[in-house]
Amino acid sequence: MLTIGIDTKKKEPIYEQIYKYIRNEIKNGTLTRGTRLPSSRKFAEYLDVSRNTIDLAYSQLLSEGYVESKPKKGYFVADVDEILEISDVLQEEEETAGKKETLPYEFAPSGVDMGHFPYNTWRKLMKNVLMDDNSEIFQKGDSSGDYELREAIRIYLHQSRGVICNSSQIILGSGMEYLLLLLSQILGTDYTVGMENPTYLQAYRVFTQLGYKVLGISMNEMGMRIDELAKSDVQIAYVTPSHQYPTGTVMPINRRSALLKWAAEKEHRFIIEDDYDSEFRYYGKPIPALQGNDKNGKVIYMGTFSKAIAPAIRVGYMVLPKQLLAIYQEKLSFYSCTVSRIDQAILSEFIREGHFERHLNRMRTLYKGKNQYLMQQLKIFGEDIIVKGSSAGLHVLVEFKGLEDHDRFEKSLYEKGVKIQRISHYYITGKPEKECYILGFARLGETQIREGILIIKDLYDKFRIRKEE
Amino acid sequence: MLTIGIDTKKKEPIYEQIYKYIRNEIKNGTLTRGTRLPSSRKFAEYLDVSRNTIDLAYSQLLSEGYVESKPKKGYFVADVDEILEISDVLQEEEETAGKKETLPYEFAPSGVDMGHFPYNTWRKLMKNVLMDDNSEIFQKGDSSGDYELREAIRIYLHQSRGVICNSSQIILGSGMEYLLLLLSQILGTDYTVGMENPTYLQAYRVFTQLGYKVLGISMNEMGMRIDELAKSDVQIAYVTPSHQYPTGTVMPINRRSALLKWAAEKEHRFIIEDDYDSEFRYYGKPIPALQGNDKNGKVIYMGTFSKAIAPAIRVGYMVLPKQLLAIYQEKLSFYSCTVSRIDQAILSEFIREGHFERHLNRMRTLYKGKNQYLMQQLKIFGEDIIVKGSSAGLHVLVEFKGLEDHDRFEKSLYEKGVKIQRISHYYITGKPEKECYILGFARLGETQIREGILIIKDLYDKFRIRKEE
DNA sequence: GGGTATTTGTCCGTATGTATG
DNA sequence: TCATACATACGGACAAATACC
């Protein structure tokens, strides 16, 4: 008889304990293939539990393939080589997959703080979605997304971003990459795309992958240089005017006008406005989207809930000018919307019931606090650094004075557990005049920020001194 | 087993619904005296509710005298003659008028029966996913999909479809359209695609939209004609060998070998195997996927959970041959996975815990019943029709003899509330020798099937007679 | 070798505790 | 507090396999 200590007092169910015990015995080879398990009666009597408790444990083992049942004869340990192999492979691959080991101090510009995700609200809404009288949502939905959600987004974009459109112009899709794919089907790929340099590389990769010619357009403190744009043969300008990625530059009104004017000059010119983190602005008045000033149907506005809610949600949207919408409807409306309708329904309620706004405010306060704390900590550098773009977004830009060997500096930081990205990696062509470091703070707590900055300071001093020697 | 659609979403308690349903069945004589009710366990599992819920319903029936309990044996329908006289409450269920535009008798080949979706299980898994304190799933995930889900799919595909691959070859995406988009990025669009004629038009639209040259290849009773394929300059063959859409043809083994051989002959030939509804096969042994016999890395296997679980889920997968996987990893792995990670986590658990298999079995039984009922009802046509493709899938093909003006027939049907699609609409080029009608039955109840068929019969007689006059 | 008692998997109804709203 | 639903655990009934006389 197997020796097993069961604990009725524990919250873990008895059958679960039995199941796990036997499973382990099988896994580690104590119980070999073909061995007969004790009969449910004997075992039940021995353990002084009900037979059905044993039954439950046995049937779980059965359904997972650890044992086989021969009716009226007994339960026998199955050939578990396959199962074992699978879990072995699983472990191995997990090791390799988990190779993107997270360092203790990741100042990554991507990523958001999920500690404050409204799990309970989300769960409640989920439940409602599944309970409500709408099994209809389990059928196929609208090609560009559910009307309710598009309408909710329209209202939100209108009120908080000044975007002017009607809900039919909004196309939902699972992520910006997919939306760009769709857009490429609308526009065709026979264009040259102009991107701010440096820029959001993910978008750059998509464009080049899709076969676009991509040109990096220089930036100054007002954003993309329109004169350079006008001289080039670029027809599509991809910009992030609200908060340029990664520099944090905000495009002022006259530059915006110039950009819109540029687009209006020729028929096949368009502007893709990626409003990727417009939600988080801490000082000064919010800057409306470019799209709101576009009178000529030239701006394709794109946004996402990845930063504001969670990357896992994977809901993005784009607002098409009517001219392009017509093409979409004619040529592409047979594509089904890629966003799960359950998520759409939840998100729709989330916005409509005001949770989104509350959540945004909460997160804005939270991030503002982190931002301020980071700025506070950075003061230990005194005059040795220049900080840029700290009034918005989830990262700041830092230029360390008197630093030359950036590669070694970055590597040393990495070895100390600090991961920082450099702005030069975001350049399509050329290099920055001054190397800058991108300090994302969204996922970090105050302790991490403080300790991380101290490590950076420490190394910075070493590297700087070494240079001066 | 009793067929009963329960509505977790209605405010009416589940046990009340069960109670009323059985009471009605007893009253109207469907359940006769002495009939044994399903055991609480079986019934609970079938309906995906707790046994106690069934118990509540049963004990209410018991206390009102509709059934008798024989301890340790079961519940049996009582002699209810007296009761019927007393409580003859002819209560009609609330007639919530249909709000949708849909016709009463939609024999649509798309769509699935959502009445038996395991809402409770799904909700429970959702809850776990959101509770499990693994806020990790709210961060950005693997480009081709979460490992756990891909591994679960791998095991499922291996066991039930004979697909041979490892989980890294599986790419998840939100829907077949998106996956074809991705695939086009891997292969390039400089190919000619050969499709079965008639075929799945959605795929056809995607291919043409993406710029592929598409050629319709004739079919015979064994599927796509390989001789015609070989003569053409087609390089990519899109096929549905398990259950051709829409004809229902199953590709036999020698035709499969010929197809694989065709692909192996030249380097840039590939086969896209769309296994869109392989889950539902009612007679004969299941047919393994083509992919399992492919020794040369030529088959791209595609599948989806839209039919087996719900279209709203929007999770599809494709299995890439290693050669193409390398290209994907090199060129496209920067694309984020388009499937919500929450859905991925839920689905992963759903499969791993065996719910998927149970659900499939339940749905197969359900659809088989509907299929049989439809076939039964079609007997009123006697020799006037030929039915094809009724051993699998969610639709059957019907050829009405002696019918000529199909347009007017279809229109008349529509006016009577019956919507049927014709096979000629699925042709890329040319027309069928004999027009056939596609009768999808997934979403219809028995009453709808019966009444719909009667309307069709009625109109058929009219149209036929008119012709003979 | 054939009948019989025992063992065994399987199925059954029942009872109690708990989470949720 | 109460209704609802689910999780866990209990012991009896049955038929097939098995052991034993």
pLDDT, tens digit, for every residue of A273-319? 999 888 888 888 778 999 999 999 999 999 999 888 888 788 999 99
CB contact under 8 A, B126 and A131: no
| CB contact set of B393 (below 8 Å; sequence gap of 6+) | B243, B248, B277, B280
Answer yes or no: is B40 CB < 7 A from strand C: yes
Is residue A145 within 8 Å of A172, Cβ to Cβ? yes
Alpha-carbon distance B72 to B39, whole Å? 10
User: In angstroms, how far is C16 C1' from A69 CA?
Assistant: 30
Q: Which of A27, A293, A316 is nearest to A150 (CA)?
A: A316
* Segments of B32-157 assigned E as strands: 67-70, 74-77, 105-107
CB contacts of A90 in chain B (<8 Å) are 147, 151
What is the H or E stretch that residue B262 is in? helix B253-265
Among protein residues, the one whose C-alpha sits closest to the C1' atom of D16 is A72
Is residue B220 within 8 Å of B258, Cβ to Cβ? no
Q: Say whether A275 sits in a helix, a strand or coil.
A: coil
Residue A466: band (very low, low, confident or very high) from pLDDT cuts 50, 70, 90: low
Among protein residues, the one whose C-alpha sits closest to the C1' atom of D11 is A50
- Nearest chain A residue to B335 by CA: give it: A177
Answer yes or no: is A126 CB < 7 A from strand C: no
Residue A199: band (very low, low, confident or very high) from pLDDT cuts 50, 70, 90: very high
Which one of B114, B122, B127 has the shortest CB-CB distance to A135? B114
* Residue A128: burial class (beta carbons within 10 Å; 0-12, 13-18, 19+): middle
Alpha-carbon distance B174 to B245, whole Å? 21
* pTM for the predicted model, two decimal places: 0.84
CB contact under 8 A, A93 and B167: yes
Taking the Cβ of residue A312 and every Cβ of chain B, the question of whether any pair is shorter than 8 Å is answered with: yes
At B2 the pLDDT is 59
Q: Work out the average pLDDT over B200-205.
A: 94
Number of other residues whose CB lies within 10 A of the CB of residue A420? 20
Res B194 pLDDT > 60: yes
Is residue A463 within 8 Å of A420, Cβ to Cβ? no
Answer yes or no: is A73 CB < 7 A from strand C: yes
| Angle at which helices B341-352 and B119-131 cross, to 10° | 120
User: In angstroms, how far is D11 C1' from A437 CA?
Assistant: 71
End-to-end CA, chain B? 48
Give tens-digit pLDDT for B334-357. Answer: 999 999 888 898 899 888 877 887
Number of other residues whose CB lies within 10 A of the CB of residue A430? 11
Give tens-digit pLDDT for A338-359. Answer: 998 888 988 998 999 888 998 8
**Phi-psi group of A29: left, alpha or beta (phi > 0 → left; psi -120 to 50 → alpha; rest → beta):** left
| CB contact set of A112 (below 8 Å; sequence gap of 6+) | A306, A307, A310, A311, A394, A442, A443, B139
Answer yes or no: is B53 CB < 7 A from strand C: no
DSSP 8-state symbol, B134:
-
Alpha-carbon distance B352 to A273, whole Å? 42
Radius of gyration of chain B (CA): 25
Q: Which nucleotide is the nearest neighbour of A17, by CA and C1'?
A: D8
B335-368 CB burial, b ≥16 within 10 A, e <16: bbbbbbbbbbbbbbbbbbbebbebbbebbeebbb
At B122 the pLDDT is 85
| CB contact set of A340 (below 8 Å; sequence gap of 6+) | B174, B312, B313, B314, B339, B340, B343
At B226 the pLDDT is 96
Rounded to the nearest integer, the mean pLDDT of chain B is 86
Res B389 pLDDT > 70: yes
* Residue B466: burial class (beta carbons within 10 Å; 0-12, 13-18, 19+): exposed
Query: Most A CBs within 10 Å: which of B6, B7, B8, B9, as the mutation test of the A interface?
Result: B9
Among protein residues, the one whose C-alpha sits closest to the C1' atom of C16 is B52
Q: Which nucleotide is the nearest neighbour of B71, by CA and C1'?
A: C13
CB contacts of B178 in chain A (<8 Å) are 174, 178, 338
CB contacts of A336 in chain B (<8 Å) are 175, 177, 314
Give tens-digit pLDDT for B13-68. Answer: 888 888 888 888 888 888 888 888 888 888 888 888 888 888 888 888 888 888 88
CB contact under 8 A, A312 and B342: yes
- Bases along strand D below 7 A from a protein CB: 3-18
Answer yes or no: is B37 CB < 7 A from strand C: yes
At B125 the pLDDT is 86
DSSP 8-state symbol, B312:
G
Number of other residues whose CB lies within 10 A of the CB of residue B216? 19
CB contact under 8 A, A130 and B114: no
Phi, psi (5° rounding) for residue B214? Answer: -120, 135
The CB-side HSE value for A132 (13 A sphere, CA atoms) comes to: 14
Alpha-carbon distance A200 to A426, whole Å? 7
- Nearest chain B residue to A133 by CA: give it: B9
Res A100 pLDDT > 60: no
Residue B96: band (very low, low, confident or very high) from pLDDT cuts 50, 70, 90: very low
At A153 the pLDDT is 96
Query: Cα–Cα distances in Å, from A20 out to A31, A68, A88, B158?
Result: 13, 16, 18, 26
Query: Most B CBs within 10 Å: which of A178, A179, A337, A444, as the mutation test of the B interface?
Result: A178
At A134 the pLDDT is 56
Answer yes or no: is B53 CB < 7 A from strand D: yes
Q: Say whether B468 sits in a helix, a strand or coil.
A: helix
Cis bond leading into A198, ω under 30°?
Answer: yes
Res B438 pLDDT > 50: yes
Residue A132: band (very low, low, confident or very high) from pLDDT cuts 50, 70, 90: low
Q: Say whether A74 sits in a helix, a strand or coil.
A: strand
Residue B287: band (very low, low, confident or very high) from pLDDT cuts 50, 70, 90: confident
Residue type, A465: I
Answer yes or no: is B71 CB < 7 A from strand C: yes
Res B88 pLDDT > 80: no
Alpha-carbon distance A377 to B266, whole Å? 64
Alpha-carbon distance A227 to B392, whole Å? 64
Q: Beta strand A223-224 with B74-77: parallel, antiparallel or unpaired?
A: unpaired
Res B417 pLDDT > 80: yes
Give tens-digit pLDDT for B238-257. Answer: 999 999 999 999 999 999 99
Res A257 pLDDT > 80: yes
Residue type, B288: P
* Contacts by residues B199-203 (CB-CB < 8 Å, ≥ 24 positions apart): B199/B238, B199/B240, B199/B245, B199/B426, B199/B428, B200/B240, B200/B245, B200/B246, B200/B274, B200/B276, B200/B426, B201/B425, B201/B426, B202/A334, B202/B176, B202/B177, B203/B176, B203/B238, B203/B274
Among protein residues, the one whose C-alpha sits closest to the C1' atom of C21 is A124
Query: Cα–Cα distances in Å, from B338 out to A222, A249, A379, B88?
Result: 34, 30, 41, 56
- Bases along strand C below 7 A from a protein CB: 7-17, 21
| Residues (401-440, chain B) with CB within 7 Å of strand C atoms | none
Q: For residue B394, what are its two tokens? A: 């969610």
At A137 the pLDDT is 64
User: In angstroms, how far is C11 C1' from B23 CA?
Assistant: 25
Res B89 pLDDT > 50: no
Give residues 210 to 229 of B whose Cβ lies within 8 Å of A.
210
Top mean pLDDT of A160-164, B30-34, B156-160 is at A160-164
Q: For residue A24, what are its two tokens? A: 């382990």
At A172 the pLDDT is 97
Cis bond leading into A246, ω under 30°?
Answer: yes
CB contact under 8 A, A342 and B100: no
Q: Positive or negative CA dihedral for B454, B460, B461, B462?
A: positive
Q: Which residue has the higher pLDDT, B30 or A131?
A: B30
At A101 the pLDDT is 63
Residue B411: band (very low, low, confident or very high) from pLDDT cuts 50, 70, 90: very high
Q: For residue B330, what are its two tokens? A: 């090199």
Q: Which residue has the higher pLDDT, B452 or B45?
A: B452
Res B456 pLDDT > 80: yes
Residue A98: band (very low, low, confident or very high) from pLDDT cuts 50, 70, 90: very low
User: In angstroms, how far is D11 C1' from B88 CA?
Assistant: 39
Taking the Cβ of residue B454 and every Cβ of chain A, the question of whether any pair is shorter than 8 Å is answered with: no
Q: Which of B113, B465, B174, B169 is nearest to A343 (CA)?
A: B174
User: In angstroms, how far is C19 C1' from A124 CA?
Assistant: 15
At A184 the pLDDT is 95
Q: Positive or negative CA dihedral for B450, B452, B458, B462?
A: negative
CB contact under 8 A, B147 and A97: yes
CB contacts of B313 in chain A (<8 Å) are 340, 342
Q: Work out the average pLDDT over B93-122.
A: 69
Top mean pLDDT of A12-21, A412-421, A456-465 is at A412-421
Alpha-carbon distance A386 to A403, whole Å? 13
CB contacts of B137 in chain A (<8 Å) are 312
Residue B459 Cα to chain centre, angstroms? 29
Alpha-carbon distance B217 to B18, whole Å? 51
Task: Express as a percent the part of chain A with pLDDT over 90.
Answer: 53
Taking the Cβ of residue B156 and every Cβ of chain A, the question of whether any pair is shorter than 8 Å is answered with: no
- Measure B130 CA to nearest chain A CA, in Å: 6
- Nearest chain A residue to B142 by CA: give it: A97
Query: Cα–Cα distances in Å, from B23 out to A154, A236, A445, B51, B93?
Result: 49, 68, 60, 18, 13
Number of other residues whose CB lies within 10 A of the CB of residue A2? 14
Taking the Cβ of residue B10 and every Cβ of chain A, the question of whether any pair is shorter than 8 Å is answered with: yes
Alpha-carbon distance B61 to B77, whole Å? 9
